[in-house]
Chains A and B, each alone.
Chain A
Amino acid sequence: MRRKERIDRGIKVRTEGIYAISSMREILYLLGPRLLLIVGLILLPFILQLAPYWARVVNIMCVYALVALSFDFLANYVGLVCLGGGFFVGVGGYLSAIFNTYLGIPFYLSIPLATVFGAFLCTLLFLPCLPLRGVYFAIVTLMYPLLLTRIIEAFDILGGTNGISGVDSFPNQYVEHYAIIVVLLLVLFGLRRFVNQDIGLVLRGVKDNDQSVRASGINVTHMKALAVFISAGIGCFGGAYLVHLYMWAGISLFALDFSIIPIAAVVIGGGGTLVGAVVGTFILVPLSEALRNLGTFRIVIYCVALTAFIVLKSEGIMVYLQRKYHQFERWVKV
């Protein structure tokens, strides 16, 4: 009988305490992966100047990554599985379009306003479903974006099926790129900090055992509302940005894509790591762009990949990579 044993690398153990860092190598060990992501993302628009089409894909990819982050945070740190990521995107997008076209607010104000108001609106609308558990919450949230789509269609409001066009675009390509890249990095590292803060721990407690959190004198509904607010804000920003990118807001913002692709990305990248959500999107979205001429077959690919990862109970790419990075394995006799 043999069994695989996993042991932390010496460098991991040494660098765990912040005071232990003594050599360049150790600092690099800690910062390397982070720097790779940050510098890589910031340089990406420059690298892709040769391929303008792909430069645009980067923007969309970052939007998906934001939505994936919002899903990962809500599902794996608070325990609310929200299948309607498209709802946040749609609300943020429409709000920004309304602010920009109807009220004439410039994009640098309409996006933040849409983020904040959208987060408020989504939280308000989700408030009644917060006591729901598991499946029920998932089903309701799946229905929200569909309902809003149908209402817009049925009442023919907000431009009906044609959507709202004439939304301002970004002044230049760099603003367009860095508006989303910087926010993505901020959200990623901000969330990572947040979930290890005391208040983040309370949210994780809600996921593990909400009864016990209640018995500790904390209003669980407030905590969940806070989490939804954060998550909705992230999604709304994505939507608001997208509207200015496309110069158009329409019901396709609520589309399934924004609900299913981020989920697939999180499952493939590794749920509960946050970085995994970003890595998952960075794999899935370019892949799907490369397969663009396959049309709707791309959704089939997403779904098959998603099902495969769920069924094989895969830990996700990021968890695997982290393990390889921090630990080595050897076989031992039992």
Chain B
Amino acid sequence: MEGRVPACGWGSAAGGGDASPIRSNRRAGVIVEFLLYGIINSITLSLLSLGFTLVYSISRLPNFAHGALYITSGYIVWLLLNRLGLPYPIAVVIGILATGFIGALIYRFILIRIRGMEISEIIATYAIGLAIIEGLRWGGLRGMTFTLPPFFPGSVILAGVSVDYQRLSIVAIGALTFLGLYLFTHFNKLGLALRGIAQDERAAMMLGIDSDMTAVVSLAIGSGLAAFAAILLLPLGNIVVEAGYSVLIYAIAVCIIGGLGSWGGAIVGAFIIGFAQILTEAFLSSHFQMVVALLAIIVTLLLKPSGLFGKQKELEERV
């Protein structure tokens, strides 16, 4: 029980590993375990998708390089820790800043030229992400040897269920992040402005807000958030490039269920997928985690493309 800290059920989202946390303890706190790990998984997913949602809602850019940025940041931090021997906190800060900077560069030099051409944006960001991921793989990011140390080693027994501190800290930090984001966008001038842009880009443009500048900033923040999520989640597993793909799919799934561009929707979407994954994992196998996410994307798009809380009515267009 205690020994399985790094290998976790939703590890395929955050890193590697397949062992199921639920299988192990059937009798005692099945419900508690289900709830607890459901919440942990949901918060994990919402952290993973936060950057993607933010970029899309503020500047309508589908950042398909999100997963690649996630894994890049993990690798940067690993390099700083192991090659340069920097202290962990400093490595983390540099990792987040560097990833944010990469995001800004991607907009400044590439996406700026194809802004507004949605399909080109998707293909280009996807290609960039692919190039980063496969480049990292080629550059030596292979195998199971890349790990980040947990911030808070050890674990506790909560109502008969064993949870390690790292996961608890994810829940706490995740919740704090959402609270902070909520306060920021509702009570801070800059945050209010960002929210305004997210709600009505055209109006914001008419008010003279520089759309390229906000896009650079949003991509930088979004990439920084991907890095933030990576640093929180990667210590639970290994840094493997495949996670770049799955993170992207989870982010898309969460955003599409909630409605592209809706922040509240993304959190609800994360909880829906999070609990659905824990359920299928308990009753089927962990192989179905990705199936759940992919099915969620397809079913949502087919039944209600605007998602649960999407504002756009893309199907009822003006004639």
Contacts and interface: CB of A to CB of B under 8 A. Distances in A.
Contact of B127 (A146, A297, A303): A303
Contacts of A131: 315
Given A139-B256, A147-B294, A303-B128, A296 B138 contact: yes
Interface stretch (B26-34, B144-152, B212-220, B284-292): B284-292
Interface in B238-260: 249, 252, 256
Contacts of B294: 143, 146-147, 150
A311 B128 CA distance: 12
A144 B123 contact: no
B113 A83 contact: no
B110 A307 contact: yes
Contact of A140 (B118, B130, B298): B298
Contacts of A39: none
A243 interface: no
Given A129-B301, A129-B302, A303-B130, A154 B124 contact: no
Contact of B135 (A128, A263, A300, A310): A300
Contacts of B297: 139-140, 143
Contacts of A154: 284-285, 287-288, 291
Query: Majority SS of interface residues in chain B?
Result: helix
Contact of A297 (B126, B135, B295, B301): B135
Pick from A150, A211, A264, A304 the residue with the most CB of B within 10 Å. Answer: A150
Interface string A292-313: 0011110110111011001111
A304 B131 contact: yes
Interface residues on B, range: 35 or more
Nearest to A256: B130
Interface string A310-326: 11110000000000000
A136 interface: yes
Interface in B251-294: 252, 256, 284-285, 287-288, 290-291, 294
Nearest to A211: B319
B131 A300 contact: yes
Contacts of B127: 260, 264, 302-304, 306-307, 310
A81 interface: yes
Contact of B298 (A143, A153, A256, A296): A143
A139 B123 CA distance: 10
Contacts of B287: 150, 153-154
A204 to B, nearest CB: 17
A41 B302 CA distance: 42
Given A133-B314, A147-B298, A311-B114, A138 B137 contact: no
Interface in A235-280: 256, 260, 263-264, 267
Interface residues on A, range: 35 or more
Contact of A146 (B123, B138, B249, B301): B249
Contacts of A299: 130-131, 134
Given A146-B249, A154-B285, A211-B319, A260 B130 contact: yes
A134 B118 CA distance: 7
A256 B252 CA distance: 17
A299 B135 CA distance: 8
A297 B119 contact: no
Given A260-B130, A297-B138, A310 B120 contact: yes
A174 to B, nearest CB: 36
Given A297-B138, A300-B135, A311-B110, A140 B301 contact: yes
A140 B123 CA distance: 14
A260 B129 CA distance: 12
Given A147-B298, A300-B135, A139 B119 contact: no
Contacts of A287: none
A117 to B, nearest CB: 22
Nearest to A306: B127
A4 B21 CA distance: 68
A310 B124 CA distance: 7
B56 to A, nearest CB: 10
A81 B119 contact: yes
A132 B319 CA distance: 17
B134 A300 contact: yes
A150 B291 contact: yes
Nearest to B120: A310
Contacts of A304: 127, 131
Given A81-B119, A299-B131, A311 B285 contact: no
Interface in A205-233: 211
B119 A135 contact: yes
Given A129-B298, A296-B138, 4 more contacts: A150-B291, A151-B291, A307-B110, A311-B113
7 contacts: A132-B302, A139-B122, A140-B297, A143-B249, A147-B298, A154-B287, A299-B131
Q: Which 3 A-B pairs have the closest CB atoms?
A: A303-B131, A154-B287, A303-B127
Interface of B: 62, 110, 113-114, 118-120, 122-124, 126-128, 130-131, 134-135, 137-138, 249, 252, 256, 284-285, 287-288, 290-291, 294-295, 297-298, 301-302, 305, 314-315, 319
Interface of A: 81, 83, 128-129, 131-136, 138-140, 142-144, 146-147, 150-151, 153-154, 211, 256, 260, 263-264, 267, 294-297, 299-300, 302-304, 306-307, 310-313
